[in-house]
Amino acid sequence: MRSKKNFAMGKGKYYFTVKSVPNNITIFRKTKEAAVEAFRSYKSVGKEVEWLGRWDGKKFTESTVPEVQASNA
């Protein structure tokens, strides 16, 4: 059975999902810069993340996945 999201998505906020077992975690940030920084942070530690984009009230816009820079380690 699919679980229900227990929150309303806010217009103008940026969303991405951290895929984990048993539940996926949907995270939002108010600005694109903050969202991209958090997205890259999760990606750099090896988490599987999916960029959703900016919620406009009906659908996701700006859904192009931000580039993740290769680490120098």
Does 64 score more than 70 pLDDT?
yes
How confident is the model over 3-51, as pLDDT tens digits?
666 678 899 999 999 998 888 999 999 999 999 999 999 999 999 999 9
Greater model confidence, 15 or 63: 15
Measured in degrees and rounded to the nearest 5, phi and psi for residue 42 equal -65, -40
Does 73 score more than 50 pLDDT?
no
Which pLDDT score, from 0 to 100, does residue 66 have?
Answer: 84
Give the three-class secondary structure for 68.
coil
Whole-angstrom distance, CA of residue 24 vs CA of residue 11: 21
For 1, the token pair is 């059975």
CB contact set of 40 (below 8 Å; sequence gap of 6+): 66, 68, 69
User: How do the domains of the chain map onto residue ranges?
Assistant: 14-58
